[in-house]
């Protein structure tokens, strides 16, 4: 069977579509967590927060959204796939508001008050920083790369951290 790969925008090119695809990948993960919350309420809110917390450590640093859109999360220091600890740290800003959804009515209000500004701040970082890092990446020392399945044996790439070169 022949496999065909769609060329994904390279995060190093600085194009706007790569940044939008990164936001879309996180949106897919958030949509899955919201579905868990609605389907299994009130336990679903805790399940959704746990899902968001550890999903970036699954499948060699690829969450569901990142797998679909062709991205992966790496630790900046050693260029290894995202660990569970780093995944929890990098997703704290997004997963903590989900815990408030356990509370009927007021939990939803608190969720919106926390989630919307944090999401806007994360998008601001992705679109304004030359390194494409969001708040979670800064907290956990991680970076997101375009995953190229045809590049086996090659380095997954190097990142730039606020103007400083990262040595693999």
Q: What is the pLDDT of residues 40-93, one digit of tens each?
A: 988 999 999 999 999 998 888 899 999 998 888 999 888 889 999 999 999 999
DSSP assignment string, 52-107: HHHGGGSTTT--HHHHHHTEEEEETTT-PBPPHHHHHHHHHHHHHHHHGGGSTTHH
User: For residues 149 and 126, what is the distance between their CA atoms, to the nearest angstrom?
Assistant: 24
Is the pTM higher than 0.75? Answer: yes
What are the tens digits of pLDDT across the range 33-52?
Answer: 999 999 998 899 999 999 99
CA distance 4 to 25: 21
CA–chain centroid gap for 51, Å, is 12
State the pLDDT at residue 149. 53
pLDDT at residue 19, as a whole number:
85
Question: From the CA atom positions of the chain, what is the Rg in Å?
Answer: 16
Are the C-beta atoms of residues 122 and 93 closer than 8 Å to each other?
yes
Q: Is the peptide bond between 162 and the residue preceding it cis, with omega within 30 degrees of 0? A: no
pLDDT at 154: 35
What are 6-36's pLDDT values in tens digits? 344 455 445 677 888 889 999 999 999 999 9
**Mean pLDDT of the residues in the chain:** 81
Cβ atoms 102, 50 nearer than 8 A: no
Assigned token pair, 43: 């336990």
Give me the pLDDT at residue 166, please: 45
pLDDT for residue 99 is more than 90: yes
Q: Provide mean pLDDT across the span 138-154.
A: 69
């Amino acid at each position: 069977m022949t496999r065909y790969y769609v060329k994904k925008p390279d995060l190093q090119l600085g194009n706007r579509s790569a940044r939008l695809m990164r936001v879309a990948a996180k949106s897919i993960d958030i949509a899955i967590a919201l579905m868990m919350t609605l389907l299994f309420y009130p336990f679903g809110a805790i399940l959704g927060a746990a899902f968001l917390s550890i999903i970036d450590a699954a499948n060699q640093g690829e969450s569901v959204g990142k797998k679909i859109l062709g991205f992966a999360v790496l630790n900046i220091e050693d260029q290894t796939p995202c660990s569970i600890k780093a995944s929890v740290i990098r997703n704290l800003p997004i997963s903590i508001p989900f815990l408030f959804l356990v509370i009927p009515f007021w939990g939803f209000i608190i969720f919106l008050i926390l989630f919307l500004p944090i999401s806007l701040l994360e998008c601001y970082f992705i679109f304004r920083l030359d390194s494409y890092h969001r708040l979670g990446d800064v907290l956990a020392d991680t970076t997101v790369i375009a995953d190229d399945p045809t590049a086996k044996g090659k380095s997954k790439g190097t990142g730039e951290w606020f103007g400083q070169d990262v040595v693999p």
